Amino acid sequence: MTTKIVRASEHFHHEEGDWLSTYWHFSFDFYRDPQNMGFGPLRVFNDDVIKPGKGFGFHPHRDMEIITYVIDGELEHRDDKGNHGVIYAGEIQRMTAGTGIVHSEYNHSKEKPLRLLQMWVQANKRGLAPSWEQQKFSTDERKDRLLPVVVAEGTNNASSKRAVHMHQDASMYVSSLGAGKQVEHALAQDRKAYVFVIDGDATVNGQKMQKQDAARIEDENKVSIRAGKPAEIILVDLPGRYDVNK
Given a cut of 70, whether residue 243 has pLDDT beyond it is no
pLDDT at 164: 95
Neighbours of 144 (CB within 10 A): 13
| 2-239 under CATH 2.60.120.10, yes or no | yes
Q: Is 16 left (phi over 0), alpha (psi -120 to 50) or beta?
A: beta
Distance CA 13, CA 25 (A): 7
Residue 142 belongs to what H/E stretch? Answer: helix 139-142
Residue 174 and residue 149 in contact, taking contact as beta carbons nearer than 8 Å: yes
Domain extent listing, the chain: 2-239
Given a cut of 80, whether residue 246 has pLDDT beyond it is no
Q: What is the pLDDT of residues 205-222, one digit of tens each?
A: 999 999 999 999 999 999
Distance CA 28, CA 43 (A): 9
Which amino acid belongs to residue 82? G
Length in residues, the chain: 246
| Section 192-201 average pLDDT | 98
pLDDT at 227: 98
pLDDT at 43: 97
Q: What is the pLDDT of residues 138-195, one digit of tens each?
A: 999 999 999 999 999 988 877 788 999 999 999 999 999 999 999 999 999 999 999 9
Q: What percent of the chain has pLDDT over 70?
A: 98
